[in-house]
Structure 1
Amino acid sequence: MATLAESEMTFAHLPHPAPLAADARAAVLADPGFGKVFSDHMVSIDWDEERGWHNASVIPYGPIPINPAAAVLHYAQEIFEGLKAYRLADGGIALFRPEANAARFNASARRLAMPELPEALFVQAVKEMVLADKDWFPTVEGGSLYLRPFMFASEAFLGVRPSKQYKFLVIASPAGNYFKSGAPAVSIWVSDFTRAAPGGTGAAKCGGNYAASLVPTAEAFERGHDQVLFLDAVERKWVEELGGMNLFFVFDDGSILTPELTGTILPGITRESLIRLAQEEGLTVREGRYSLDQWKADAASGRLVETFACGTAAVVTPVGRVSGHDGAFTIGSGGPGQLTQKLRQKLVAIQRGDAPDTHGWVKRIA
């Protein structure tokens, strides 16, 4: 349980001695891409068994000193989150559901035998990061400041047990479009590999899950696709998720299906938000199993009219074509569907302050 001291920590601020010049920053912000450049500062907080969370600081962005025997390098005790800060219509700055990210971060920490970070401190750390580098918002349409909180085991030892020391950091990256193809809908490849197995770490946001996805993702790219699709690890027939996104299926009766959270799928915050928004539109949303064969049959018959993927980085992205060793099929017209676009517009409008926030999801910080 969080103590008052941990939840209301004072951050030291160490300004960057040589921040990126304004003209160079402006050039970067005009075309930031995704995850390629980083702002001037980062947040750092330490933890150990004796003192708990301490040494909260906003410091210049740069290399992290790390012992070669640090536990993270040998036993992969590491977790992370991803969220965005948005410029509002009135020029203010807001976060979208940061408390949900904090809760998921702690769920990942529990699964990886790491200390939980008080949710209030998580949100405070993210806020400190954004305010320190508020001039780093990109100027491109739809741009945002992508935030990456993460924690790793820093104790130097070679032994299979939980570390007794950890470091939590937050870095920021100006973000434009996530997918590089620019196509109206993405194409995905059905992988022979699996992402997660029952009883594993599939529901935790840890680096190991993503490392395991790199080979199948590279295979998808080599075949000309934008993303990789993973099936379940047991029967190899049930659709689970993409390399880093949840999936939704829209049928001709207006109902929506998304794969249920069985412990092998990451519980997406965008996923949960879209379920709420769709239900408010009067749509029936089911969480359940959906096989690849049924997906193909429904697309061929016209019963399935849209498929979309969602996540913090890409928000809501239409899926137009699915390919695998057994052939390929197209969903609808192969482009974005009406409901996909409607839900995306509704979510983005809330995130950017262009529509009323009836859920209390938007946390204004400036």
Structure 2
Amino acid sequence: MNKKITYSFLLKPETNKNGHNPVYLRAFQSGKKIEIATSIALCEQDWSLRYQRVKKRNKLHERYNTILDAYDKKALKLIVNNFVNDEAPLTLRQFKDHITSAGQAEGSFTDYILSYLNDNKPRLRLESWWSYKSQITKLLKFKKKVLFVDITEKFINDYHHYMIHELGNNENTASKSLRSLRTFVNISLRYGFIKNNPFKFIIIKKVDGKRDFLTSEELNKLSQAYFHGKITNSLEKEILRYFLFSCYTGLRYSDLKDLKMSSIENKIIKVRMHKTGYLISVPLSQKALQLLPTKSAIDSQPVFRVYCNKVTNRVLKAVSKEYDIQKKVTCHVARHTFATVSITLGIPIEVVSKLLGHTNLKTTQVYAKIVDSVKEREMEKWNSL
């Protein structure tokens, strides 16, 4: 179906109270139309249907045609920019909002972004869509009504201060929110609702945060509890099963949820990562294989029944406490555990990077920095000099 917007100017047959016919811009998309009133109204004989402009016989033709040219230029620029940036096609509502500049300055920034997110939901990953929605909710806690005119450098700095000192966010959490806000501002800039970039002189910090992970000993403690039948609660056993599988493979929570039996062939997982779209191939260790269901499982069937993050993390907290693991164990700790234990075992960091699906080796090197045992092992080599 053609999603392209086309438009033209027309003279409405209905006259206004002065007996003049108003000029409208009419836009079409996929069989639907929307009309935008201009400020122009004139006699029918003063309108050129062929050229869609006001005839010279009208004494205000130069002024009127300049207005129509401005509408034309604005509409064409919007459509071309949308095409060049290879974005989802504009909706008629977005087109009208931009042409009329509805919402510019005095309009609602948050309402516009929420509308944009809803219109573009099909082209966004569901996790990204929900994340953006939650960022809008968070922004509205800071200010109940956020207008386009509010988005200034001072507003951004005040919002950052609010997140750190009022909400108690750490620097990385606050930075993530600012990056989302910057994305929303860029959308508004692109469609002309904000004229100047308020992020021009804003530096968004990125701090290496604390990454909790299980040591080899802690991982073995949970592994033995599972395989030796010490975990009797069915929910705890089910959740620990896919947590351990993630520890042995490095799969993210989102990839565990989507993992099907058909993705496993010849003891190798081949899956396109949900977050990055990166195709990974992970050979399965013996312990990972023991956590898989029987061969009779249907290919289209999920490998695990993965519970929501809240339930998963609550159960992991209880199990880790029971086995005296003094760390905040969450589902994502499994991925960190895979990375750090792999490096501890001496697996080259380049291989670990590929197994994790990292597109940049620097991302993986963070784990090498936090594994002290590796440093100690490597420094022992000096003793043989």
Q: What TM-score, normalized to structure 1? A: 0.23
Higher Rg of the two aligned structures:
2
Q: What TM-score, normalized to structure 2? A: 0.22
If each structure's helix is expressed as a fraction of its own residues, which one has the higher value?
A: 2
